[in-house]
């Protein structure tokens, strides 16, 4: 077939592709835009670190690193991430097994746990824990002291101190646990229970069944979550910047931030450390992809058959208590801490009930500070960013699926790339690339929006891919067969069917963007304040009740958005399960 004959046939290629002729062009442009937003800042960073003007050239790389006290920072990082990750692995895997395979299970645990990070922004939770466990003013500590004084033990501070290596590690573990729970519990869900039942029928004990059947089957999920935990642990910013700074334990992600933000700033060092951090995360990412590819474990789709749950006997109540305790620790307790502090005129462990009031909330919206403006900006950025992000992701995911081939692979690779670059590093890249010269966006909304879209594009693509996959190929084909034009098929079939998935993705984007801390800390200024950056500023200037109030307001906004959207989704799904 000559080229001349291909051309007219491609003019309206079969069915839904008609609409994609133009959509394809748009997709290509969007992909180019996204790749520019990732590649350009990183290229600028590398140039800055090793180019002709870099300080490294005078001192040599090693000397520079030693001068920056990198060894100490790296040691801290490995201890905190290692120990926190270990806690998360044990707790997450245990919770997953308890909830999926034993009689300690409660239905709501599995539903609430994945929602926790959406309901309570991480920064709010971390600040809440400080409010509870600070050595002197911590509310929980005060409560424990009161209890101890009843039995005659008098303490001025403590007994617990969050500003220690132990406290740091414990809170890291707390926030890393979901990254283990989710993959492991879904692996357990998809593991056909009859495999375990067969083992029990073959006279194997509960323990032996767990060791020889369950464990090998979920090993890939455990391995994947280990890598995920390490990746998240290296990149996480909220816990180290609040608790680590208080405990005087600096880890890599915070060090990079301090190098840029502190005085005198050492951007060149920040870049080098950023590249080190990126290298670590990329390695973990590659390992994960490699494991996912060589995953030959039992992926047998269970038909949702009822599992004969392991009877825990005496252990059932303690096990269930552990599940409940986790929910309390990850969500309820820190929010209570925030609520108490936010109602006080100043942060003290001695709650005087008569002075509690809403003054701090009034200050936020009427005071001189920027908190009110920051709240508005963050919510607006969440809404705009979430909407734009999901639209772009839906378009790209659909194009990747229908066109396949080189374009499809390019779309998937490029949109996944930001996942391998820690937020703080990407933010440094944005600072360098868009703060001067012809592309000066410094202090604008746009730089924040672009950074958020880039950072959360992998997340948006995952949600959109799920939404696209939910619409079976035959459903769209049937629409074409039954005489609908491409545009009509898109409006009447594709869009309504994708909408629930897109809405769920939108919620995740909204929550993450409106509560974004890491990039905001470097990119937001007094002209474009957002919640994450204002909270950090306030934290350094010590207006704790106001911080608590802002964090609580964010929690309330998130909870409202999450419950409204998910409630609507649930209702729309009610008649078509």
Partner 1 sequence: MRNPALTEQIMSYSAGVSPSAPRIVVRNLTKRYGSAHGEVLALDDVSLEVAVGEKLVLLGPSGCGKTTLLRSVAGLETPDEGEIEIDGKLVFSAAKGVLVPPEKRGLTMVFQSYALWPHMTVFDNVAYPLVNTRVAKAEIRERVREALRIVGCAPYEARYPSQLSGGQQQRVSLARAIVGRDKTVLFDEPLSNVDAQVREQLRGELVSLQRRFGFSALYVTHDQSEALALAHRIAVMKSGRVMQIGTARDIYDRPTSRYVTNFTGAANSFDGRVRAVADGVASLETAFGVLDAPAGELAVGQAVDLVIRPEHLRISTSRPEGNAFEIRIDAAMFLGIYTEYAATHTAASDEKTAMLVRSTEPTPLSEGDRVWATVSPTNVVVFPKGGDDE
Q: Is the Cβ of residue 286 or residue 495 nearer to partner 1 in the bound state?
A: 495
Cα–Cα distance between 343 and 360 in angstroms, integer?
7
Q: Is the Cβ of residue 8 or residue 437 nearer to partner 1 in the bound state?
A: 8
Please give, one letter per residue, the 3-state secondary structure of 309-375: CECCHHHHHHHHHHHHHHHHHHHHHHHHHHHHHHCCCCCCCCCCHHHCCCHHHHHHHHCCCCHHHHH
Cα–Cα distance between 312 and 301 in angstroms, integer?
26
303 touching partner 1, by CB under 8 A? no
Interface stretch with partner 1, choices 121-129, 314-322, 326-334, 467-475 (CB under 8 A): 467-475
Interface stretch with partner 1, choices 4-12, 105-113, 330-338, 360-368 (CB under 8 A): 4-12
Q: Is the Cβ of residue 43 or residue 499 nearer to partner 1 in the bound state?
A: 499
Q: Is the Cβ of residue 380 or residue 569 nearer to partner 1 in the bound state?
A: 569
To the nearest whole angstrom, how small is the minimum distance from the Cβ of residue 490 to partner 1?
13
7 touching partner 1, by CB under 8 A? yes
Q: Is the Cβ of residue 320 or residue 398 nearer to partner 1 in the bound state?
A: 398
Q: Is the Cβ of residue 114 or residue 472 nearer to partner 1 in the bound state?
A: 472
577 touching partner 1, by CB under 8 A? yes
Answer for which of 493, 507, 517, 524 binds partner 1 (CB under 8 A) is 493
376-405: which residues touch partner 1 (CB under 8 A)?
A: none
To the nearest whole angstrom, how small is the minimum distance from the Cβ of residue 11 to partner 1?
8
To the nearest whole angstrom, how small is the minimum distance from the Cβ of residue 479 to partner 1?
7
568 touching partner 1, by CB under 8 A? no
Contacts of 335 (CB under 8 A, 6+ apart): 120, 124, 125, 128, 552, 555
DSSP 3-state of 134? coil
335-354: which residues touch partner 1 (CB under 8 A)?
A: none
Q: What is the DSSP annotation of 387-398?
A: HHHHHHHHHHHH
Cα–Cα distance between 370 and 534 in angstroms, integer?
7
11-40: which residues touch partner 1 (CB under 8 A)?
A: 11-15, 18
Q: Are 476 and 494 in contact (CB under 8 A)?
A: yes
To the nearest whole angstrom, how small is the minimum distance from the Cβ of residue 18 to partner 1?
6
507-526: which residues touch partner 1 (CB under 8 A)?
A: none
90-149: which residues touch partner 1 (CB under 8 A)?
A: none
How far apart are the two ends of the chain, measured CA to CA in Å? 48
Cα–Cα distance between 315 and 322 in angstroms, integer?
11
Q: Is the Cβ of residue 18 or residue 302 nearer to partner 1 in the bound state?
A: 18
The residues that bridge with 310 in the sheet, in sequence order, are: 102
Cα–Cα distance between 231 and 240 in angstroms, integer?
15
Q: Is the Cβ of residue 314 or residue 483 nearer to partner 1 in the bound state?
A: 483
Q: Is the Cβ of residue 262 or residue 404 nearer to partner 1 in the bound state?
A: 404
With CA atoms as reference, report the closest residue to 44 among 351, 390, 316, 425.
425
Q: Are 391 and 467 in contact (CB under 8 A)?
A: no
The number of beta carbons lying within 10 Å of the beta carbon of residue 313 is 8
To the nearest whole angstrom, how small is the minimum distance from the Cβ of residue 9 to partner 1?
5
Q: Is the Cβ of residue 192 or residue 477 nearer to partner 1 in the bound state?
A: 477
Cα–Cα distance between 164 and 294 in angstroms, integer?
40
Interface stretch with partner 1, choices 6-14, 59-67, 138-146, 409-417 (CB under 8 A): 6-14
Residue 47 structure tokens: 């140039």
To the nearest whole angstrom, how small is the minimum distance from the Cβ of residue 488 to partner 1?
7
Q: Is the Cβ of residue 41 or residue 486 nearer to partner 1 in the bound state?
A: 486
Cα–Cα distance between 250 and 499 in angstroms, integer?
43
Answer for which of 51, 496, 542, 567 binds partner 1 (CB under 8 A) is 496
Binding mask 469-488 for partner 1 (x = CB under 8 A): ---x-xx-xxxxxxxxxx-x
To the nearest whole angstrom, how small is the minimum distance from the Cβ of residue 400 to partner 1?
18
**Which whole-number Å values give the CA distances from 388 to 106, 398, 451, 509, 564, in the listed order?**
37, 15, 13, 10, 20
Q: Are 337 and 139 in contact (CB under 8 A)?
A: yes
Q: What torsion, rounded to 10 degrees, do the Cα atoms 279, 280, 281, 284 define?
A: 120
To the nearest whole angstrom, how small is the minimum distance from the Cβ of residue 477 to partner 1?
5
301 touching partner 1, by CB under 8 A? no
Residue 454 structure tokens: 């880039």
Burial annotation 86-109 (CB, 10 A radius, 16+ → b, else e): ebbbebbbbbbbbbbbbebbeeeb
List contacts with partner 1 (CB under 8 A): 1, 5-9, 11-15, 18, 472, 474-475, 477-486, 488, 492-493, 496-497, 575-577
């Amino acid at each position: 077939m000559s080229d001349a004959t291909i051309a007219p046939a491609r003019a309206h290629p079969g069915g839904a592709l008609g609409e994609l002729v133009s959509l394809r062009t748009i997709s290509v442009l969007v992909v180019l835009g996204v790749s520019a937003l990732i590649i350009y800042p990183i290229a600028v960073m590398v140039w800055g670190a090793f180019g002709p003007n870099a300080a490294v050239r005078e001192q040599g790389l090693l000397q520079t690193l030693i001068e920056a006290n990198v060894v100490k920072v790296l040691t801290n990082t490995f201890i905190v991430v290692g120990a926190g990750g270990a806690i998360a692995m044990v707790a997450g895997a245990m919770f997953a097994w308890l909830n999926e395979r034993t009689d300690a299970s409660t239905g709501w645990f599995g539903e609430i746990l994945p929602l926790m990070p959406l309901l309570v922004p991480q920064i709010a939770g971390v600040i809440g824990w400080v409010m509870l466990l600070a050595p002197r003013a911590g509310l929980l500590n005060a409560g424990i002291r009161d209890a101890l004084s009843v039995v005659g033990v008098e303490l001025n501070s403590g007994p617990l101190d969050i500003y220690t290596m132990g406290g740091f590690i414990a809170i890291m573990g707390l926030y890393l646990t979901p990254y283990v729970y989710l993959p492991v519990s879904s692996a357990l869900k998809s593991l056909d229970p009859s495999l375990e039942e067969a083992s029990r029928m073959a006279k194997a004990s509960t323990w032996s069944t767990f060791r020889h059947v369950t464990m090998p089957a979920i090993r890939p999920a455990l391995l994947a979550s280990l890598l995920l935990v390490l990746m998240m642990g290296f990149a996480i910013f909220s816990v180290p910047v609040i608790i680590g700074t208080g405990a005087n334990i600096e880890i890599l992600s915070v060090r990079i931030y301090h190098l840029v933000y502190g005085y005198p700033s050492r951007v060149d060092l920040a870049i080098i450390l950023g590249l080190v951090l990126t290298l670590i995360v990329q390695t973990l990412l590659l390992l994960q992809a490699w494991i996912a590819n060589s995953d030959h474990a039992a992926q047998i789709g269970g038909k949702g058959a009822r599992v004969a749950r392991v009877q825990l006997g005496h252990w059932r109540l303690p096990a269930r208590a552990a599940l409940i305790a986790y929910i309390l620790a990850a969500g309820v307790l820190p929010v209570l801490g925030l609520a108490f502090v936010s109602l006080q005129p100043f942060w003290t462990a001695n709650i005087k009930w008569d002075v509690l009031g809403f003054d701090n909330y009034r200050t936020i919206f009427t005071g001189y500070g920027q908190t009110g403006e920051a709240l508005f900006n963050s919510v607006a950025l969440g809404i705009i960013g979430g909407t734009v992000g999901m639209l772009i992701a839906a378009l790209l995911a659909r194009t990747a699926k229908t066109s396949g081939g080189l374009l499809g692979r390019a779309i998937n690779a490029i949109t996944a790339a930001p996942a391998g670059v820690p937020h703080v590093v990407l933010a440094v890249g944005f600072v360098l690339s868009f703060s001067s010269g012809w592309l000066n966006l410094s202090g604008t909304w746009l730089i924040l929006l672009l950074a958020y879209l880039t950072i959360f594009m992998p997340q948006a693509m995952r949600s959109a891919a799920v939404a696209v996959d939910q619409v079976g190929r035959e459903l769209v084909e049937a629409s074409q067969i039954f005489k609908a034009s491409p545009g009509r098929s898109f409006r009447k079939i594709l869009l309504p069917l994708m909408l629930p998935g897109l809405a769920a993705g939108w919620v995740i984007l909204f929550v993450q963007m409106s509560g974004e801390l890491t990039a905001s800390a470097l990119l937001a200024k007094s002209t474009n304040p957002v919640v994450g950056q204002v909270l950090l500023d306030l934290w350094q200037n010590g207006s704790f009740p106001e911080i608590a109030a802002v964090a609580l307001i964010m929690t309330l906004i998130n909870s409202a958005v999450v419950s409204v959207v998910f409630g609507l989704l649930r209702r729309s799904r009610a008649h078509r399960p």
